[in-house]
C-alpha cells in the first residue's frame, strides 16, 4: 500500500531514529518538489537519501577507497548522514546546488522496512524550515495537514534530534 503512494509521486511521513521524516522516491522530481514546497525550502539546499543497507548505495560508492568505505561500514546502520562526492548518480533535484550527495543507512525498523520494499528514499526532517522537527505524528499533521499522502505508523528510535551530518572526505562535522 505504501509503495502505491510512492509510485504515484506521493509524499509519506514516517518515524526515524530521532524525529519524524518526510520521504519520497528519488526518481520523482514531482514528489521532491512537493516536499520542498511543504517545507518551504529551496531546492538549492539538496536533500539526503536513506537506505536499509549499504548495498542499496553501491552506485553512489563507486570510486571510494577502502578507508572511506570502511568508515561507512563502521558507522552504518545508524543516525549518521555522510556527504559523499556526487558521482552523477543522484538526480539534480536531490542534490540541489551541491557537489555532494547525503547518504544514510538507517537502523530504525520502520525506515529499514520501507527501504527494503522500495529502495532508497529521499528523506528530510518533517518540519517547515526554521521550525523544530516533528517528534509526533500529530505535529506532522499540524505542520502539513493533507499535504502528506500517508503517515506510516511507528515510534521514534532512541536518538535525540536529526542525524549527525559528516563530510566523508574532509571529516568535517556539519551538524
pTM to 2 decimal places: 0.93
Question: pLDDT digit string (tens) for 51-70?
Answer: 999 999 999 999 999 999 99
In DSSP notation, 152-172 reads PP----S--SSPEEEETTT--
Lowest mean per-residue pLDDT among 35-44, 136-145, 156-165: 156-165
C-alpha–C-alpha distance, residues 106 and 78, integer Å? 5
Percent of the chain exceeding pLDDT 90 equals 89
C-alpha–C-alpha distance, residues 103 and 49, integer Å? 5
- The arithmetic mean of pLDDT across residues 32-56, rounded, is 97
Please choose, from the candidates 61, 62, 34, the residue with its C-alpha nearest in 3D space to the C-alpha of residue 47: 34
Instruction: Note if the bond before 77 is cis, omega within 30 degrees.
Output: yes
Q: Are 166 and 30 in contact (CB under 8 A)?
A: no
CATH 3.30.70.100 fits 2-167, yes or no: no
161 band by pLDDT with thresholds 50, 70 and 90: low
Query: Where in the chain are the domains?
Result: 2-167
C-alpha–C-alpha distance, residues 156 and 171, integer Å? 28
The mean pLDDT of the chain is: 95
Amino acid at each position: 500500500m505504501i509503495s502505491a503512494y510512492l509510485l504515484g509521486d506521493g509524499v509519506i511521513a514516517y518515524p526515524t531514529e530521532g524525529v519524524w521524516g518526510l520521504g519520497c522516491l528519488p526518481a520523482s522530481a514531482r514528489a521532491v518538489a512537493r516536499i520542498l514546497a511543504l517545507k518551504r525550502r529551496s531546492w538549492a539546499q539538496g536533500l539526503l537519501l536513506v537506505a536499509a543497507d549499504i548495498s542499496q548505495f553501491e552506485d553512489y560508492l563507486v570510486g571510494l577507497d577502502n578507508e572511506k568505505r570502511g568508515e561507512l561500514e563502521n558507522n552504518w546502520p545508524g543516525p549518521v548522514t555522510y556527504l559523499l562526492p556526487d558521482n552523477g548518480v543522484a538526480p539534480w533535484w536531490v542534490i540541489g546546488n551541491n557537489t555532494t550527495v547525503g547518504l544514510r543507512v538507517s537502523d530504525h525498523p520502520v525506515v529499514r522496512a520501507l527501504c527494503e520494499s522500495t529502495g532508497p528514499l529521499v528523506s528530510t526532517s518533517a518540519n517547515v524550515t526554521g521550525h523544530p522537527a516533528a517528534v509526533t505524528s500529530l505535529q506532522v499533521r499540524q505542520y502539513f495537514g493533507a499535504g502528506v499522502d500517508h503517515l506510516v505508523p511507528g515510534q521514534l528510535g532512541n536518538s535525540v534530534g536529526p542525524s549527525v551530518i559528516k563530510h566523508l572526505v574532509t571529516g568535517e562535522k556539519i551538524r
